[in-house]
Structure 1
Amino acid sequence: MRILLTGSTGQVGNALLSTLQRLDHNEIIAPQRAQMDLSNPDQVRQLIQDIKPDLIINPAAYTAVDKAEAEANLAQTINGDIPSIMAEEIKKIGGALIHYSTDYVFDGSKHAEDGSLIAYTEEDQTAPINVYGKTKLAGEQAIIASNCNHLILRTSWVYSTFGKNFLLTMLRLANEREELKIVNDQWGAPTWAGWIAQATTDIVSQWQTASMSQDWWKEYGGTYNFTSGGTTNWCGFAQEIMRQADVKRLLKKNAPVVLGIPSTDYPTPAKRPVNSILSSDKLRDKFGIQPPAWQDALAACLEPINN
């Protein structure tokens, strides 16, 4: 099987480059930006036509949430237009597309009568509240409208020991400061890029086991929530990072005190949803994949640092 993997220099793409290589009988093509510039739709279309992949896996995205407010056109090109082109071209080939989306397609207002937060399911109404979320939703809608074989995997709060992310920022600040103030009124599930890659590879393996059947997509294709298990807020995530890093002796000094603050004390150009909790029941029921608790995934992510 010929796999076209985008974004191999990003967190999820980098992890996928490793996990996909564990599968047998695959040719993985992971072009660099010079060969596949996602701000250049014509180049992307031509590359797909030249490669003729059986499967496109697209973790690449414009992910600078705040910057997107001022660069809406570029964000739309990368997050909305490019997935549309991928879907159009892969349908012509008769292949399939695995595309990653985000919790930010929701407005974060879902709650019970008592005010407690309720996890979003795949059937809930989308209503993004920032440019990033709107452009990611545009990509989802274009893929669905194309009627190509596809999986849309919605994840949240992605981190790893590669690239730029909340985990690495916290580990850096831990060695620089005595106290950290982190937002505590936005809720979700931190999700390790390594788990995303392994779970995706498991799904690809299931398709291969089914002899890459077109009928397989009728049964399993569609949109799935794709996050770790459990719920926390950004302050809770930071506190757990400090706790685990301290236990594993990854810090150069004592861990800083982590204090929670409301998001109003840390204004940003883009609004963030209060509730980013996604139910992964459909993922478990369809593919037999049980997401790890977010604390366990964090421990697995940090383990190689300690060796």
Structure 2
Amino acid sequence: MGGGPLAGRRPVRRARPHAGRRFDHARTEHRHELVLPAARHHRRRTRSTHRHLRHGHHRRRSGSGIVTVSRILVTGGASGIGAAIARHWANLGHDVTITDVNDEAGRDLASSLGCTYVRLDVRNEEAWREFASGHETFDVAFLNAGVSTGDLVFGNPDTSPFTSFDLAAYRRTLGVNVDGVVFGVAHLAPAMVARGSGDIVVTASMASLYPIPPDPIYGLSKHAVSGFVKSLAPALVERGVCLSAICPFFVDTPLVPKEQQAQIRETGFDILTVDRVVEAAQMAVAERQAGAHWVIFPGAPIARHPDPTLG
């Protein structure tokens, strides 16, 4: 297989745990940032014309040369992490499609970036079917749409979430966070498999890997997404499609209100910027490790979470 949708990337491969390496959040004082290969490759691409363009790509002239353009999809792209991912890839000259249910913000962002906005409720399987049938194959899909229950209660002495169980919030959280990923993969992967290449990067969470007592329903949804990615990735990688996940700590987005960010900081942890999450998304596409979970934690380099079941 001839690499991924961005020229110069590594061939798709199964993720393997790093021998002798443990992920330790506490020991971050001597760590250094990683140099991301995707950024280097892009600089090389803009200096010369590609001789070979894979199916699904087209060429666009920029001020520094001809750039191979990939078709990028970002769900939940109107704000927060999704908007930052969309902005990053659009600024690199790629053909970006943003989906969301916040039409005003989505259209404004798409207009400012020169990309496409499409309304899509990721909870709706039929909407996914119509979306996929009406669009060309994407080279990279960032399944980023996500919500919480809105009931984070740091410091609340009542530790039982079911004293105020909200069925609507439960359905919405699982609908967006779980169904949105499953339906997205179900309707995007077949075209990628038919072409023999493609990347799907799911925005999971640190809550995919560790407990999150203040919001157990959110934790449930993100653990489900993690299990889905790990379970399906081996089958997709055999057909040239890399499925992986990024797992950020709390990020400075509307999903985490400012008062909750302040409470998190009081516990001794910092809040991630969206730019750090974009770096992880970029790394997931560049490294192409099937089933990998890329962890983004304050003060630490982006690292793949060790998992002996992969590989």
TM band (smaller chain): 0.5 to 0.7
Deviations 1:138-165 (A, max 9, x none): 12222333333212111111005xx464
Measure the CA separation in 1 of the matches of 2:231 and 2:266. Answer: 35
Q: Does structure 2 retain, via aligned residues, the 8 Å contact 1:189–1:227?
A: no
Amino-acid identity (%): 14
Q: Taking structure 1 as the reference length, what is the TM-score of the superposition?
A: 0.54
Alignment CA distance shift 1:32-1:108 (3 Å)? closer
**Is 1:155 paired with 2:248?**
yes
Unmatched segments (≥5 aa) in structure 2: 1-69, 104-118, 153-160, 193-197, 237-241, 306-311
Give the equivalent residue in structure 2 for 1:140. 226
Give the equivalent residue in structure 2 for 1:192. 273
Deviation of the 1:170 alpha carbon: 8.1
Q: Does structure 1 retain, via aligned residues, the 8 Å contact 2:244–2:290?
A: yes
**Which amino acid in 1 is paired with 2:208?**
V
Q: Equivalent of 1:104, from 207, 222, 232? A: 207
Deviation of the 1:185 alpha carbon: 7.8
Q: Equivalent of 1:48, from 132, 136, 143? A: 132
**Which amino acid in 2 is paired with 1:103?**
M
Deviation of the 1:62 alpha carbon: 1.6
Alignment CA distance shift 1:145-1:170 (3 Å)? closer
Deviations 1:146-202 (A, max 9, x none): 333212111111005xx4644x4489xxxxxxxx8x467856552111221244235
Matching of residues 27-66 of structure 1 within 5 Å: 27-33=95-101, 35-51=119-135, 52-66=137-151
Give the equivalent residue in structure 2 for 1:282. 304
Deviation of the 1:128 alpha carbon: 10
**Which amino acid in 1 is paired with 2:250?**
W
- Local SS of the residue matching 2:245: strand
Alignment CA distance shift 1:191-1:84 (3 Å)? same
- Local SS of the residue matching 1:77: helix
Q: Does structure 2 retain, via aligned residues, the 8 Å contact 1:57–1:99?
A: yes
Give the equivalent residue in structure 1 for 2:92. 23
Q: Does structure 1 retain, via aligned residues, the 8 Å contact 2:122–2:176?
A: yes
Alignment CA distance shift 1:155-1:134 (3 Å)? same
Give the equivalent residue in structure 1 for 2:292. 223
Measure the CA separation in 2 of the matches of 1:64 and 1:27. Answer: 33
Measure the CA separation in 2 of the matches of 1:170 and 1:88. Answer: 35
**Which amino acid in 1 is paired with 2:222?**
K
Give the equivalent residue in structure 2 for 1:211. none
Deviation of the 1:32 alpha carbon: 3.7
Q: Does structure 2 retain, via aligned residues, the 8 Å contact 1:62–1:78?
A: yes
Q: Does structure 2 retain, via aligned residues, the 8 Å contact 1:154–1:223?
A: no
**Which amino acid in 2 is paired with 1:141?**
G
Q: Does structure 2 retain, via aligned residues, the 8 Å contact 1:80–1:142?
A: no
Alignment CA distance shift 1:194-1:92 (3 Å)? same
**Is 1:130 paired with 2:152?**
no
